[in-house]
Every structure is written in C-alpha cells, then in structure tokens.
Structure 1
Amino acid sequence: MIIKNFKAFNGQHCETTTTGSLLYQLDINLSEPMLFGLGEGLGYIFWNMKIMDFPFIGGRIKPDILTENICRNLNLNLEVKETSSIKKAWENVKVNIVQGKAVGLKLDCYHLDYFTTKIHFAGHYASIYGYDEKLAYLNDTNQQGRQARTTLKNLELARNEKGPMSSKNLSYTISKNEKLPELEKAIKSAIQNNANDFLNPQIKNIGYKGIYKTSSEIKKWFKTSENIKKDFQTSASLMENGGTGGSLFRNIYRDFLKESGELIESNELLKASEKYDTIAKLWKNVADLFIKIGETEDIKYVNQTSEILVELSELEKKTMEELKKASA
C-alpha cells in the first residue's frame, strides 16, 4: 500500500522535513526555514551526563515541541499517538496510510537500513507514505534520501528503541481546522516566543547562558576526554552535518529571518538576518576549531574556541533582544 501522488519535502533537518511532507498533503507549501522559524526552533543546549560518551551540543529546542509550535502558529490540528504495544503502534500507522494520509514517525536512526553511520539517536524523524510485505517507504532528509527504504522489522526496532530522546512508538498526523491565520501575525508571534524562550533559560546550560557556560565546560571536557580526536571531531560533524543546515541551525534561522523580512517588509528582521549570518560564520569557526582540537590535541585551540563562545553568547543575546522588540 503506497500513497499515490505523495509529494516529498526536500529538507536538511529531519523534523521540519517530516512535518513539511505532512503539510504538503494539506496543500500547505512553506520553505524549510519558514517551518523552522514558525516552529520557534532556535535554541541551544550543552548536555553532559555520565552515561554519555561525550557532551552533546544542540542548537534547537527539544524534539516534538517544534512540530507542536508549527501547528499552533498555523492553527492546525496535531494528533500524536504513543503506545508501548508494537502491534498497536503499527496499526496507528496503517490506518492512516490506507486512508491516503502520510504519517510522521519518531525513530532511533541506528536501526534504519539506509543510515550508513550507525549511532544511536532516538530523536530522528521521517514520514512514512507506504509499505509492502517486507519494506516501509519513507521520506527522509536530503542527506539520508527522500526515497528511503527500510525493512518493517528494523522500522519496528527503530520506533520501539529506548534511551535519551526516545518516545513510545510515537507517530503523528496533521489536519486542517479552519483557514490558516495571516502569515505575518504567525511570524511575529513565533519570533516573540522564540526570543522569550532563548533569553529566559530555566537552567544555565541552555539558551545564551548555555553558550557562555560551554566556554568553560569545553576546557574541562578537553582535560577529561579519553579520546579527544573522536569526541571533538564527532561533535563538529554533528554541528555541521547532523541535519542542522550548518552552523548549528543558525543558517536556517538566518534564512527564516530574511524570508520573513522580505515578506512583511521589515527592515528590523532583515538586519537581524545579517547579524545571524555573522553568528553562523562564528559557529562554523567553532566547528573548524573542534576539528583542529581533534587533530592536534593542542589546548590553544580550546582557548580560542572558548573566546568565540563568549562572543557568541553576547551576540546572540543582543540579537534576540532586538528581535523581541521588533516582533512586539
């Protein structure tokens, strides 16, 4: 059973690509940066736990919330289903596919056949638009393949995996309520909410405070790491190539601000877009320095990175404060 005339969304980030595919089925055609911005997606987290091989540096809000925000800002109905029953989980998908409705899935990419790099990450998303006796047909990011295939058994394992960021066989569908709100109003509301969230972190390892904290934490990380090359270079790869669009999602948010500024004729948003272009380049410098740290194991590159992170913390804080005023 394969949905006829399924339109695949071309994207760099898994959750916006998945949700974008579902919105295509509703004839809602928005760019990936616009979806990311309407999802109030920009964020920051430095996450370190004893069970982790090395600290995680993230540049967006936590999984699931982005799609919730998109649907709220566009007045759409989001239906999320979770279950510990593997059989019920598959029925939740099948019933929609039979009705010609694509379904968003949350997965651990480790089990997916088409992923060549085998790492456990249970916060991955893909949309399913068909299946047969052996295979599931998925739409994934440009990097992973828009016509992806995986066995039904491995899809089952990917959906039912446990661990950080995992959910209980989560699937979701989206439907229209009434007419869509004015995009200008939705954009301003999303920017305002994203700015408030970024500027008022509940704990010191998220938002602009998290960036500042990382400036000192990477020095501790460098001293305690058992494999400096692997730790820092893997982190750099995730920051640049892990579905972030480069520069830890700052490129995508820059493009959202530019598109929004042109759409609603706002010089303030266009100026903020230019500032995020500078911010994005600084994050690329951080990733490049992480590579050098791995290659040389020289503390001087750690210190250089620390200085850039202090600068980034202040620059992102200031730019978000300006966005908060511009979207009021």
Structure 2
Amino acid sequence: MRLATFQPQLGDHCETTTLRNMIHHAGVGISEPMLFGLGQGIDFQYWDAPDPGRGAPMLTGRIEPAQLSRNACSALGVELREAQAPDPASAFATTMELLDAGHVVGVSVDIFHLDYFSSRSHFASHYIALYGLDDSLAHVVDTDQQGGARTLPAESLRRARASSEGFLPSPHLYLYVEQLPARLTTDTDAVLREQIWSAIRLTAERMTGDRGLRLGLGALRRAASEIAGWNDTLAPADEVVQGVGRFWRFAGTGGANFRKLYHAFLIEARQLYGDRELDRFVEDFGHVRQQWDQVIDMLMAYRGADEGRKQLEAVAARLDAIADAEQAVFEGLLVPATERAGERA
C-alpha cells in the first residue's frame, strides 16, 4: 500500500516535518516554522544522564514529544489521533488500515534501527511520516538532513517502532490527522492570523515562568552552572563535550535548531500580520540564534588537554548570557501578545 498522490514535504526537525506531511496530504500547506510556533515548541529541558560521570545530561531545546503536535493541531482546529499498538503485528495491521484510508501516518522510532541513519546510538524519540508499507518495504519522510523521502526494509521499520531503548521510547506509537476543517482549507491565512498571538502568549508565559531546574530557562541556567565542571567529571571529556555540540547542531534536538525555527516563525508571523510590533523581536531572536551557534562552535572545538576548564567556563558564561537574552525576548513578547490575544478573545 502506497499513497499515490503523496508529495513529500521537507523539514529540519523530525516531529514538525512529520506533522507538516500529515497536514499537507490532508489538504493544507503550512510551513514547518509556523507549525513549530503554533505548537509552542520552544523550550529547554534538562534530563539527568543515565550513567553520570560517563555521559552528559540530555539537554533539549523543545517541549515533550507529541505535545508540539497536539498544541499545533488544537490551534488549527485539526483533530489529531494518537495511540499505541500493543505489538508489532497490530502496529502493522493498523498502519495498513490507515494508509488504505488515505492517511499519512506519523510513527515514533528508535534511530538505531533505521538503516539509513549513520548514528549507532539509541534515540527512541524520533518521528517519521509513513506513506507506504508492505511486507518488504516502507516509504517514509525523514528530515532533510536524513535525505527526506526514503525507502527502507519493512523489518528495519518494525524494529525501530518496537524499540524500548534510548531516550523517551514509545513503542508502536502512531498518530494521524482526520479530515481538516473546511475553513482551514479555504482561508488558511485567516486561521493562522487568529492563532499566532495566542500561541506566542502561551509560549512566553511558559518561558518566563519558574518551572524549577529541569524545565525552561531555569534548566538552561542549571546547565550553564554545571558545564564548567564537565572537564573534571566526565570521561572521556573530549568525546562527551564535543558529542553534545554535535548533538545540538545535527540531531535536531539542540538549542540552535529550535531557535532557528522560532526565529523563522516570528518572521512569518510579521509577514502575515504586517505588524511592526514584531520587528524588534525578530531582530533580538536572530541574535539569540547566533549566540547558540557560537556556543556549539565552542563545544565542538573543545580540547580538554588544552585549558579545558577555561574553555568550558567560557561556554557557561555564554549560556548564562543566552538565558538572559531569551528571558528578555519572551518578557518583551508577553506584553503585546497578551494585548493582541485579548483583542481576539
């Protein structure tokens, strides 16, 4: 079974790429940054390392998996269905039924089992859009970095979906969208304009709120306070620190990637509204994105044997500055967002 009219939509991040493909096939073209912004996707989260001393904590720049899709679909009035099949046979059968009904199916997978992935680490919180499947082959859309539309052995997909290893596994999780609301298909820009300021307000409230040391800017400041000590506490420090830099830059989960998406969302929002109120926030968030890229450059250039602690102290100072900059941007956004969202209530 393969969807004959399907047209792959490329993207930078796995979940927003998957959601974009599901919604586009259902009848509406919405950009990945817009879906990310409506999904209130930006965040910072600190997850303790499973093996302290040998690995860094998992530091992610977004909200929890699937919550982004729920938020975006709620804003758009789209009915998102999600469930977990009990076993591989049921997962296969349900997927075939959904494809036969004309749905693109989003599935969570462990990248370790995807034969086109170069990573040999388990990461089970990855999403791909499935648009074709039979007993031998699966047709999927992954991120642009992973080649976009790919064909892989059905057995590879089966193992990837069934995995319970790696970060936040959800074996046999699948999601799809029902028929889209008529107004979304006929007057897409109007629907977006009605929802953008509300999504910005909710995001700004969350990002400026005190959510402890695991979520939000408190978590970012916690990471900054600890990172200078990695030179002494992690082994091998060179490999682990550079690995964090590579993860943030290339894995799709790091700070710079999501700051890039949110910056693009603000640009698109400004274009849709013609609202000069957003000009300074577009500029300020562009600077935030640049600072994240600089931090990643510093991490990837880290050499512990060559004044490693000083290098990581510089990284920590830059992360503190980023936290301050993000706090200022979201506090600033909260004022017009509260006013504009109230006008539309």
Coarse TM-score class (shorter-chain normalised) = over 0.9
Equivalent residue number for residue 138 of structure 1: 140
Residues 245 and 22 of structure 1: CA distance in aligned 2, closer, same or farther (over 3 Å): farther
After the TM superposition, which of the residue ranges 241-250 and 143-152 deviates more from structure 2?
Answer: 241-250
Equivalent in the alignment of 1:46: 46
1:164-183 → structure 2 map (5 Å cutoff): 164-175=167-178, 176-180=180-184, 182-183=191-192
CA offset digits 1:23-55 (Å, max 9, x no partner): 111221111111111110010012223436321
Moved more, 239-248 or 206-215: 239-248
Corresponding residue number in structure 2 for 1:4: 4
1:179 is paired with a residue of what secondary structure? helix
Number of corresponding residues: 328
Q: Which residue of 1 aligns with 2:252?
A: 243
How far apart are 1:151 and its partner, in Å?
A: 1.6
Distance in 2, matches of 1:67 and 1:297, equals: 43
Find out whether 1:316 has 2:316 as its counterpart.
Answer: no
Shift of 1:77: 0.3
- The change in CA–CA distance for 1:5 and 1:246 in structure 2 (over 3 A counts) is farther
Q: Where do 1:212-223 residues align within 5 Å?
A: 212-223=221-232
Please state how far the C-alpha of 1:97 moved relative to its aligned partner: 1.0
Q: CA RMSD in A?
A: 1.7
SS at match of 1:275: helix
Paired with 1:182 and 1:245, the residues of 2 have a C-alpha distance of 30
Residue 59 (structure 2) aligned to one of 36, 57, 60:
57
Contact 1:4 1:100 in 2 (8 A): no
User: What does the per-residue CA deviation read over 1:221-268, in whole Å, with 9 as the maximum and x for residues that have no partner?
Assistant: 322101111111111111111125971411111111011012112222
Alignment of 1:140-219 (within 5 A): 140-163=142-165, 164-175=167-178, 176-180=180-184, 182-219=191-228
Contact persistence 2:228–2:315 (CA under 8 A): no
Unaligned 5+ runs, structure 1: none
Report percent identity of matched pairs: 30
Distance 1:231 1:280 in 2: 23
Q: The residue matched to 2:45 in structure 1 has which SS?
A: strand
Query: How big is the shift at 1:316?
Result: 0.4
Aligned with 1:210: secondary structure? helix
What is the 5 A alignment of 1:294-305? 294=303, 296=306, 298-305=308-315
**Stretch moving more, 290-299 or 233-242:** 290-299
**Letter in structure 2 aligned against 1:55:** P
Q: TM-score, normalised by structure 2?
A: 0.91
Once the 2 structures are TM-superposed, how far is the Cα of residue 327 of structure 1 from its aligned partner?
1.1
For normalisation by structure 1, the TM-score amounts to: 0.95
Letter matched to residue 18 of structure 2: T
The alpha carbon displacement at 1:152 in A equals 1.5
Give deviations 1:153-177, integer Å, cap 9, x for gaps: 2211111111431113100110224
The match for 2:84 is 82
